Amino acid sequence: MENANRLAVQPNVAEISGIFKVLGDETRILIIWHLFQNGEICVSELAKNLNVSASALSHHFRILRQEKLVKKRRAGKNIYYSLDDDHVVSMIHSAIVHTNH
């Protein structure tokens, strides 16, 4: 590896491992994919799209929020989720490009 491509500081291996563990679940990948494609989405709408119960989605979203991969917004009785920031978009895009390579 060239010196220019090396990180200046040692990565936080535990945090990185946690992110990859969370992303190791197919349902969570589908959730992230839908958010990547559609931006913000309501839990009930996503439940219909994925044919998954709202309670199961809530469990997955809790895990995704803990790793700061998604964020939520409440509007009345509805909860809307979106990707937390552009870093998440970049990770997902890189994974897609890598699998298609």
pLDDT attached to residue 91: 86
Helices and strands (H, E) in the chain, number of each type: 5, 3
The token pair at 87 is 């870093």
The amino acid occupying position 12 is N
- Is residue 83 within 8 A of residue 72, CB to CB? The reply is no
pLDDT attached to residue 2: 54
pLDDT attached to residue 7: 67
Q: How many whole angstroms separate alpha carbon 16 and alpha carbon 14?
A: 6
Q: How many whole angstroms separate alpha carbon 85 and alpha carbon 19?
A: 14
Query: What are the pLDDT digits (tens) for 7-57?
Result: 677 788 988 899 999 999 999 999 999 999 999 999 999 999 999 999 999
Q: How many whole angstroms separate alpha carbon 96 and alpha carbon 101?
A: 9
Q: Read off the pLDDT of each residue in 64-80 and give the average, rounded to a whole number.
A: 93
User: Which domains are present in the chain?
Assistant: 13-100 (1.10.10.10)
SS3 label, residue 32: helix
